[in-house]
Amino acid sequence: MSHDINGIDPVSLRALLASPVIADDIHEPGVGRGLRDAAVLVPLVVREPGLHVLLTQRTDHLHHHPGQISFPGGRVEDGDASDVETALRETEEEIGLDRRHIEIVGRLPRYHTVTGFAISPVVGVVTPPFDLALDAFEVAEVFEVPLPFLLDPGNREQHAIEYAGVVREYFAMPWQGRFIWGATAGMLVSLADMLARAGK
């Protein structure tokens, strides 16, 4: 029986992401070799009436993806025991969200970016109340978007841009004056696809 992803709750989310869904890595057009390993947390905040996705707006002066909307995360460091540890550590460092509020419920396909990263997205359910303390150097602000909005294919746009001589197509999801696009939008689409396949 199919599952209504628009009405998803933490219990059904855990069950769906625990399902054995085979998914290959996702490669943006023009991706080369020698990628740096990274991990991000896909934070799904428990709200009424449903889950919300917590996103960050990066500051404009950063070298990688300045000003873009992203998940909290970053490069894998030598002391990290796993991609989960990287995602949780980076989340604490970037936005001050303590890991005791986060329950890891699954992973999405690794996402290879044309900017040189192989990103492991880790999905976590975040239970309020919690406090945030933003790293002002990296994060300009945080905001939340209802999960059903981001899962709905009707809210996606497809664009194309030429980067390093390669035409790259990408998803975008406009939300209240913000433009969620690129790898972040791509990982949200992979989340929607996984949930849709697992729910059938």
User: Average pLDDT per run of 10 along the chain, which is 200 residues long?
Assistant: 57 77 66 82 93 93 74 95 97 98 93 89 96 95 96 93 78 95 94 79
Query: How many domains does the structure of the chain reveal?
Result: 1
Given phi > 0 = left and psi -120 to 50 = alpha, else beta, which region is 4?
beta
Residue in this structure with the two tokens 């059903």, named with its chain if needed: 148
Instruction: Indicate which CATH number applies to the domain containing 180.
Output: 3.90.79.10
Say if residues 157 and 171 touch (Cβ distance below 8 Å).
yes
Q: Which domain holds residue 96?
A: 5-198
pLDDT tens per residue across span 51-95? 999 999 988 776 665 678 999 999 999 999 999 999 999 999 999
pLDDT for 30 equals 59
Q: How far apart are CA 175 and CA 191, in angstroms?
A: 18
Residue in this structure with the two tokens 């949930």, named with its chain if needed: 195
**Distance between terminal CA atoms of the chain?**
6
Q: How far apart are CA 76 and CA 40, in angstroms?
A: 10
Residue 16, φ and ψ in degrees, nearest 5: -70, -45
Q: Which amino acid is at 112?
A: H
pLDDT for 140 equals 94
